[in-house]
Structure formats: C-alpha cells, structure tokens
C-alpha cells in the first residue's frame, strides 16, 4: 500500500533505526518495487545559465551570488538536441534541461516546446526545470509530451525561509499542483548538507511523502559548497556543518521506505563521494543518477568513472520505456 499519511514521528523513527536495519528495510522495499541492480542514467544540461533573480543560498546562478558566473541567453534548440543525442549515445535514457529562471516567459515557451518534442523523438525521457509555472505553461509542456517536471522543495518547511526568501514554500507547492493537474510526472526532492539538523531532514522527507501523490522522481542532493554563495561561504568557514556520509545514506534509505515506488535519484555531490558511499546508496534504494562531467554549472563524476563503478558493482543501466513519435503527444 502506498501511504501519503506518514507522521513526522514515523519518519523520525526510521532515521533512528540501527543503520544496518534501516538499509535492510530500504533494500527490501526497493526490491519489491524496482528491478534489482539497475540504475537509470540521466543527463542534465543547463539550457540557460545564470542571472536568476531568486536568492537561493546554495545556488551560484543567483544574481545575489558573487561567483563570477556569467549569465547566458536560452540555448538554440538545435544545440540542445545535439547535446541530447550525445547523451543518448553515452547511455542516458533521460535528458533533463534546466534554465536559471524564476519562471519562464511566454516568449520562451515555443523554443522550450520544440526542445521537449525533439528529445522525445529520440526515444529519451524528458525532464525540465524552469522555475515556477502557470497552469497554462504546465498545459503547454504536457501537450508537448514532457515526461517529468522538476521543482524541488529544497528542505523542510521550517528551514525553507533561512535558505530562500524570494519565494515561499507554498509557491513551490503551487507549481507542483499545476504540474500534477497537467498530467506531468513530478520530480521533486531537495538538498541535504546545508547545515540543517536531522529534524529538518525528517521534515523534508515528511513533506515529500505526504504530498497528494508521491513524486515520481525524488532527487537527493548533497550540497556542493561554492564560494560566493551564502551557504558555500558558511560551510567553507565551518566544515563540520557538512553532512557525514552515513547520515546521507540514511536520508536516501528513509526516502526509499517512505516513497517505495518513486525513483530516488542520487544527484549533486557524487563527485566527492567514495565508491563505497555510492554503493551503500544504491543498496539503500537509490536507482537513478546524473551522469556526465557537469551538473548545470558544478562538477560531476563523469561517464567513465560511472561505468567503472557500475562494472565493479555489477549494476546495469536502466532502459527507458516510453512512447515516441506521434504517440508521445497523444
């Protein structure tokens, strides 16, 4: 049974389990709902970089960050499709496109629609993250055949205002509602290692697991601290605030138990994780990663390193199962 009525006390009790017991429970739930030893490979491309008016404390694309990152215009559709084709050749089955916007302008939507249609024609799953959406924009993306829309809640409702002030937690939930109502799969997760407490991690998982429908994809990111961002500077000054790897694996495991049918994506921060930590995450229910050398503007593990790790673990890349061509837009 898929529950959306989890209590915070139940989520906290999962976090408090002995580590081996929690990982065992998560692995059991995972194998009951997903193929064993298969991990989905996704590629993430920044189609519009920098200049975002939001003040997210973790993000080097914010105009309030002092990182020297130059803002760019929206990429040409052909260039995006070339990048998608290369990602497919490298084994990715999902292509994710991210734009550093508070929300897309209506003038940008025709190009966005063409990107979705073009990637879908290649037989890849499509995902977009463009900031907040109106009902009309969500409907346009659904008509184009978009498979997933990413809009993270980032952290617990209580801590949210300490990380972002330019939009509210409720604003995030409203966009998720528009996406669900349009019939697009929801991709929604957040970031740990931002100096939060375990109670915040409990609140973060609880908020996701009690949505009207569990997100189809749940990215769990470890903060990549970038100098010039609020949180990056804070963690460079106080490195002990970073989350330890056992606690990170616990977070992945609790997400798997609480949201058994969701794809749990091991996202940002992998480039600094050991192979052993990543293996524990896969054991605890993570079954999707971003591959390639870059995640938007920060480093990533890279295709060759991922292939070597998969070979050591006996893990294979999951294949996409989607309709393409004319059926995609039906």
- The answer to the question of whether 188 is labelled as a binding residue is no
Q: Is 188 considered catalytic here?
A: no
CA distance 167 to 160: 10
Catalytic residue among 187, 188, 201, 281: 187
Q: What angle do CA 91, 94, 95 make, to 5 degrees?
A: 100
Q: Would you give the DSSP letter of residue 52?
A: B
- The answer to the question of whether 56 is labelled as a binding residue is yes
- The answer to the question of whether 281 is labelled as a binding residue is no
Rg (CA), the chain: 19
Catalytic residue among 172, 180, 265, 270: 265
Catalytic residue among 52, 159, 201, 270: 52
Question: In Å, how far are 107, 123, 192 from 80, measured between CA atoms?
Answer: 18, 15, 30
Catalytic residue among 94, 120, 127, 201: 127
* Neighbour-count burial of 114, counting CB atoms closer than 10 A to its CB (0-12 exposed, 13-18 middle, 19+ buried): middle
CA distance 114 to 132: 20
Catalytic residue among 56, 94, 188, 201: 56
Q: Is 281 considered catalytic here?
A: no
Q: What are phi and psi of 169, to 5 degrees?
A: -60, -40
Q: Is 102 considered catalytic here?
A: no
- The answer to the question of whether 250 is labelled as a binding residue is no
Catalytic residue among 94, 96, 159, 201: 96
- The answer to the question of whether 180 is labelled as a binding residue is no
List the binding residues for [4Fe-4S] cluster. Answer: 52, 56, 59
Q: Which residues are marked as active site?
A: 52, 56, 59, 96, 127, 187, 265
Going by the annotation, the residues of the binding site are 52, 56, 59, 96, 127, 187, 265
Binding residues for [2Fe-2S] cluster: 96, 127, 187, 265
């Amino acid at each position: 049974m898929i529950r959306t009525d989890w209590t915070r006390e139940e989520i906290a009790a999962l976090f408090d389990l002995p580590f081996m017991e929690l990982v065992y429970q998560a692995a059991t739930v995972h194998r009951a709902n997903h193929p064993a030893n298969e991990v989905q490979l996704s590629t993430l491309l920044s189609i519009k970089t920098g200049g975002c008016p939001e003040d997210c404390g973790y993000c080097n694309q914010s105009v309030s960050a002092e990182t020297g990152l130059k803002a760019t215009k929206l990429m040409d559709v052909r260039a995006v499709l070339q990048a998608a084709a290369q990602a497919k050749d490298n084994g990715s089955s999902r292509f994710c496109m991210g734009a550093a916007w508070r929300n897309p302008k209506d003038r940008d939507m025709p190009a966005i629609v063409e990107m979705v249609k073009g990637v879908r024609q290649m037989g890849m799953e499509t995902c977009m993250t463009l900031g907040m959406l109106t009902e009309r924009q969500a409907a346009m993306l659904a008509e184009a055949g978009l498979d997933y829309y990413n809009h993270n809640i980032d952290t617990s409702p209580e801590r949210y205002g300490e990380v972002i002030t330019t939009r509210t937690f409720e604003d995030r939930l409203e966009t998720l509602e528009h996406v669900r109502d349009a019939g697009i799969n929801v991709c929604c997760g957040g970031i740990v290692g931002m100096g939060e407490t375990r109670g915040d991690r409990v609140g973060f998982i609880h908020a996701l697991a009690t949505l009207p429908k569990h997100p189809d994809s749940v990215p769990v990111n470890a903060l990549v601290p970038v100098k010039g961002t609020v949180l990056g500077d804070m963690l460079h000054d106080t490195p002990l605030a970073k989350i330890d790897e056992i606690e990170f694996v616990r977070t992945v495991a609790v997400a798997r138990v609480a949201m058994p049918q969701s794809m749990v994506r091991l996202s940002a921060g992998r480039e600094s994780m050991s192979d052993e930590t990543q293996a524990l995450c896969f054991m605890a229910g993570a079954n999707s990663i971003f591959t390639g050398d870059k995640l938007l503007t920060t480093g990533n593990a890279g295709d060759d390193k991922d292939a070597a790790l998969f070979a050591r673990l006996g893990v294979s890349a999951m294949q996409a199962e989607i309709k393409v061509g004319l059926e995609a837009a039906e």
